[in-house]
Amino acid sequence: MFNVKRCALALALPAICYCASSIKINLNDAKGQSVGTAQISPSGKGVKVKLDLHGLPPGEHALHFHQNATCEAPAFTTAGGHFNPEKKHHGLQNPEGPHAGDMQNFTVSAKGTAKTTIMDPNVTFGEGPDSLFTNGGTALMIHEKADDMKSDPAGNAGARIACGAIKK
């Protein structure tokens, strides 16, 4: 969770310091029901997202950071598009991409659960345009299908099925 003492110390140190060691967000589906949590923490140049999910449709799903820290159900359109401060094209396999919020797909088991960790080297907990806390925060979004890793604007990943706001 947010650590006030650590943040005060970070303000006095070089910009490589982070104001939080990690944050835990709740993810809810379109009915407002919890589908689990994501623990997001700094990792090297970027962040790692540790997912602990339940109640999702089995199969492969896309995971993205979106530009606004709002998750209004049922469609979660208030989260905006993918977090993309550098105005790149979508997709980890796109030579003109990726968006900062693009990440690898993950798999939900036949029981509707997933416990996995996904890395995003293109976002930070720090200051500046690539920070997950820019402009009041971002959102973590789960889509109904897998991301094809190249199609603009969102990899043909389908509807937004779960969302969690990321704020300081």
The predicted-structure confidence for 63-74, as pLDDT tens digits, reads as follows 999 999 999 999
Domain boundaries, the chain: 22-166
Global pTM value: 0.86
103: helix, coil or strand? coil
Which range, of 20-24, 56-60, 110-114, 142-146, averages the lowest pLDDT? 20-24
Q: Which of 89, 63, 84 is nearest to 132 (CA)?
A: 84
- % residues pLDDT > 90 (the chain): 71
| C-alpha 137 chain-centroid distance | 11
Whether 143 sits among the annotated catalytic residues: the reply is yes
Whether 66 sits among the annotated catalytic residues: the reply is yes
In order of 8, 130, 166, the CA distances from 87 in angstroms are: 32, 11, 21
Whether 54 sits among the annotated catalytic residues: the reply is no
Catalytic residue among 143, 147, 148, 152: 143
**Better-scored residue on pLDDT, 4 or 74:** 74
Q: Is the pLDDT of residue 17 over 90?
A: no
Catalytic residue among 29, 61, 99, 147: 99
Catalytic residue among 61, 90, 120, 147: 90
Q: Is the pLDDT of residue 6 over 90?
A: no
| Residue 20 pLDDT level (bands cut at 50, 70, 90) | low
Structural contact between residues 159 and 144, judged by C-beta atoms closer than 8 angstroms:
yes
What fold is seen in the domain 22-166?
Answer: Immunoglobulin-like (2.60.40)
Give the C-alpha separation, 135 to 96, whole Å.
25
104-156 pLDDT tens trace: 999 999 999 999 999 999 999 888 999 999 999 999 999 999 999 888 778 79
Catalytic residue among 66, 89, 120, 130: 66
Radius of gyration of the chain (CA): 15
| pLDDT at position 154 | 80
Whether 61 sits among the annotated catalytic residues: the reply is no
Catalytic residue among 29, 120, 147, 160: 160
| Residue 19 pLDDT level (bands cut at 50, 70, 90) | very low
